[in-house]
A and B are shown apart, each in its own frame.
Chain A
Amino acid sequence: MESNFGVTEAQAVPSALDDIETLMQVHRTRILRFVMLSIRDADAAASITQDCFLKAYRYRAQFRGECAISTWLIRIAYRLICDHTRTERFRFWKRVQANAVDAQEMANSLPQGGSSPERHAIAQQQVQAVFASLEHLSDRQRAVFTLHFIDEMTADEIATSLTIPVSTVKTHLYRSIAKMRKVLGAQV
């Protein structure tokens, strides 16, 4: 069976990808985070993340070990995100969605630690502002921005994950920062 990744369906190849439960335990949090910040929809992020692992398991014969498993998973997740965002349904729901709810949810996840309530409140506001400003980035800019600043990936790793040149990664990164700077203004 031909997949949308241009490969045939996996045969029984013994590898680290065979154990899908362990694979998910190790990588699910990171993939979920990347998808969530890309589409800012918790339910859809959970579905796409699950789909990502099922696809990885199904087409595991494609993985040649030329990159890290996490990089390969991010590549699959990114393609699923692109498929998802291309649908009219997503555009419709994106318009009617109250983005502030997710931004608030994300801000509430910020641990208080040892900071004062005032400092914590300010930090939460900053998280909300940055999270909401992701809306103004293009899909690719958002992916590059997230992978660089949240997953702390280098430009080379991002280029491998998204299968784009390093120079394009840098261009998207610079443009996304410029947009964020413009949108956030004095807040950041």
Chain B
Amino acid sequence: MNAHLNDEAFAALLAGEQVESATHHLTLCAHCRQELTSARLALGQLRIASIDWSEAQQFARPVAPAQSPGMAWRMPRFALAGIALAVLIPSAWFAHLEQREAAQRTAATLADHTRDDQLLNAVRRELAEEVAPSMQPLMIDQTATQPEDAPSQQE
């Protein structure tokens, strides 16, 4: 027999089934015999390793009572990150808008103050003059209309 075991026959033997033709082939073919032995050995080693691993986890990972079972793996981490971004981005945007509005309000307030100062200064200047320009004609008229026989204060 030249051909080696096909997948079906190999799988049947590895799965523990007795296939007469395949079993007979094994007695004749060292290659298939070696392959089957290696496969059994490797699977046995995986079994031993996995048993040891799971028993080690029994002690390494104590089960904590969970309020909501399975939530840790059900809530995707990137969904949490998305929620965080969905909250942070609008917050940052609104904060930026508020800052801009506050700056505009400050500028407007400064302009108002400047105008108020200018107005106050003008009022102060006018008040500081001894006789207001509007009163000057009145002062001239009073001098002109004074009677000649009016008694002098020096007298």
Chain B binding surface SS class: helix
Q: How far is the CB of A30 from chain B (nearest CB, A)?
A: 7
Of the candidates B43, B52, B57, B76, which one forms a contact with A149 in the assembled complex, judged by CB atoms under 8 Å apart? B43
Chain A residues closer than 8 Å to B93, beta-carbon distance: none
* Complex CA distance for A13 and B8, rounded to whole angstroms: 47
* Complex CA distance for A14 and B39, rounded to whole angstroms: 45
B11 near A107 with CB under 8 A, answer no
* A140 sits at the interface (CB 8 A): no
Bitwise, A119-139 to B at CB < 8 A (1) or not (0) is 000010011011100000000
Q: Interface size bucket, A side?
A: 35 or more
A111 near B52 with CB under 8 A, answer yes
B61 near A37 with CB under 8 A, answer no
* Complex CA distance for A149 and B131, rounded to whole angstroms: 116
Listed A/B pairs (30) with beta-carbon separation below 8 Å: A24-B63, A28-B63, A29-B54, A29-B55, A30-B54, A32-B57, A33-B54, A42-B57, A46-B57, A47-B72, A47-B73, A50-B66, A51-B70, A55-B69, A106-B46, A111-B48, A126-B45, A127-B42, A127-B45, A127-B46, A130-B43, A130-B46, A131-B49, A149-B47, A178-B7, A178-B8, A181-B10, A187-B38, A188-B39, A188-B42
**Further pairs besides A43-B73, A46-B61: 11, Cβ < 8 Å:** A42-B57, A47-B73, A89-B78, A106-B50, A107-B49, A110-B45, A173-B15, A174-B11, A178-B11, A181-B39, A184-B42
7 A-B pairs with least C-beta separation: A178-B7, A177-B11, A51-B70, A33-B54, A109-B53, A174-B11, A126-B42
Chain A residues with CB under 8 Å of chain B are 24, 28-30, 32-33, 36-37, 42-44, 46-48, 50-51, 53-55, 80, 84, 87, 89, 92, 105-107, 109-111, 123, 126-127, 129-131, 148-150, 152, 170, 173-175, 177-178, 180-182, 184, 187-188
Chain B residues with CB under 8 Å of chain A are 7-8, 10-12, 14-15, 35, 38-39, 41-43, 45-58, 61, 63, 66, 69-70, 72-73, 76-79
